[in-house]
A and B are shown apart, each in its own frame.
Chain A
Amino acid sequence: MTNEELKLTIAKLCSSAEFKDGAQFLEVIVPAADLHHLCRELRHNGETAFDYLFCLTGVDYPTYFEVVYHLDSTRHRHVVVLKARTASREYPVLDTIGDIWPTAYSHEREVYDLLGVRFNNHPDMRRLFLEDGWGFPLRKDYVDPVRIVER
């Protein structure tokens, strides 16, 4: 599918999605509530068939966290980037998509470990790299005067 066709399909599935053109891939900003539903549709719809999640990461912005999902289709070879924003920075929470792409479970654990975004319905929401009790280092306001030597 071309980006235009993808846009139409996604707009049909989720009316409140916002699109951003001119970037490298088609970027879609999805409301957090519709994320799981949209992902399921995109995965199982024969026309889109996004079966390969190749990157999942989080970005810290001043007022919210954004989790970025890079999706690829091994059948149609088109790419879409979904972005979901958390409602607040204090209690960042999103739905897990690990039941759709199992690789997301581990990536979501990474996002939780480094950014502190929690995922609903995730079966195993533990720290991944760091031990319990650490802060969330990829947040912009993370400070650690003991361990970090600033330059």
Chain B
Amino acid sequence: MGIRKKRLSEIESNDSPIISTHEGGSIVLANLDAMFGWARRNSLWPLTFGTRCCAIEFMAVGASRHDFSRFGNEVARPSVRQADLIIISGTINYKMAPVLKRLYDQMPEPKYVMALGACATSGGPFYYNSYAVVKGADHVIPVDVYIPGCPPRPEAYFYGLMQLQKKITKDRYYTEKKLLKSEKLK
């Protein structure tokens, strides 16, 4: 998905933004939802929340070979108030869990969470017999995308990121109420 050329007759509702070229210029056509989704998914600012090995792999993703700015995921923010995506890269233990919750609460809407690696997904290697580790970050905050691996390869990170982008594209901000009503009527 992305901006693509389309004739006026082909336009459907709930589609990505469309550029239709005419004599004397172009028209961008979209409903507001699609426009917002398109803008949001292409400028995700992640929070640098690194605790364990996955954080190093996250740095590698940001560096020149893998370069996550290709996905608009460029500006890693140290402050949670400027970020819209928490990437939980590493183990969350019981001492850290309230901190993570607080970070999530401070984040402005809309906010997304990505659990990077086995530890954030399920506790990973620390699932059994560990007294300190929370068995998955989703016990603390809601997670949108889980990425397996210990640590995940950069390619796995990108796949997860694209899944999140798909999810954001499908998000509805304005039509949601209407849809709910129509579903109730049925």
Direct A–B contact present (CB less than 8 angstroms): yes
Q: Which residues of A contact B (CB under 8 A)?
A: 129-131, 137, 142, 144, 147-151
Contacts of B130 in A (CB 8 A): 147-148
Q: Are B127 and A130 in contact (CB under 8 A)?
A: no
Q: Is B174 in the interface zone, CB < 8 Å from A?
A: no
Q: Which residues of B contact A (CB under 8 A)?
A: 94-95, 127-132, 135
Q: Are A147 and B129 in contact (CB under 8 A)?
A: no
Contacts of A142 in B (CB 8 A): 131
Contacts of A147 in B (CB 8 A): 94, 130-132
B128 to chain A, nearest CB (A): 4
Q: Are A130 and B95 in contact (CB under 8 A)?
A: yes
Bound CA span A144–B130, Å: 10
Q: Are B132 and A130 in contact (CB under 8 A)?
A: yes
B5 to chain A, nearest CB (A): 54
- Choose one: B95, B128, B132, B135; the contact of A151 (CB below 8 Å): B128
Majority SS at the chain B contact face: loop
Contacts of B131 in A (CB 8 A): 137, 142, 144, 147-148
| New contact pairs (7) apart from A129-B132, A137-B131, A149-B129, CB-CB < 8 Å | A130-B132, A131-B94, A137-B132, A142-B131, A144-B131, A147-B131, A147-B132
Bound CA span A151–B129, Å: 7
**Tally of contacts, chain A with chain B, CB under 8 A:** 25
Q: Are B95 and A150 in contact (CB under 8 A)?
A: no
Q: Are B94 and A150 in contact (CB under 8 A)?
A: no
Q: Are A148 and B129 in contact (CB under 8 A)?
A: yes
A151 to chain B, nearest CB (A): 4
- Kindly report which residue of chain B lies nearest to residue A146, judged by CB atoms: B131
Bound CA span A149–B127, Å: 7
Bound CA span A122–B132, Å: 26
Q: Are B128 and A150 in contact (CB under 8 A)?
A: yes
Bound CA span A144–B94, Å: 13
Contacts of B132 in A (CB 8 A): 129-130, 137, 147
A-B contact pairs, 18 of them (CB 8 A): A129-B95, A129-B132, A130-B95, A130-B132, A131-B94, A131-B95, A137-B131, A137-B132, A142-B131, A147-B94, A147-B130, A147-B131, A148-B130, A149-B127, A149-B129, A149-B135, A150-B128, A150-B129
4 nearest A-B residue pairs (beta carbon): A151-B128, A137-B131, A147-B131, A148-B131
Contacts of B94 in A (CB 8 A): 131, 147
- Kindly report which residue of chain A lies nearest to residue B126, judged by CB atoms: A149
Bound CA span A150–B130, Å: 9
Contacts of A144 in B (CB 8 A): 131
Contacts of A149 in B (CB 8 A): 127-129, 135
- Kindly report which residue of chain A lies nearest to residue B127, judged by CB atoms: A149
A116 to chain B, nearest CB (A): 14
Contacts of B129 in A (CB 8 A): 148-151
B7 to chain A, nearest CB (A): 58
A149 to chain B, nearest CB (A): 5
Bound CA span A137–B94, Å: 14
Q: Which of B128, B130, B131 has the most CB of A within 10 A?
A: B131
- Kindly report which residue of chain B lies nearest to residue A151, judged by CB atoms: B128
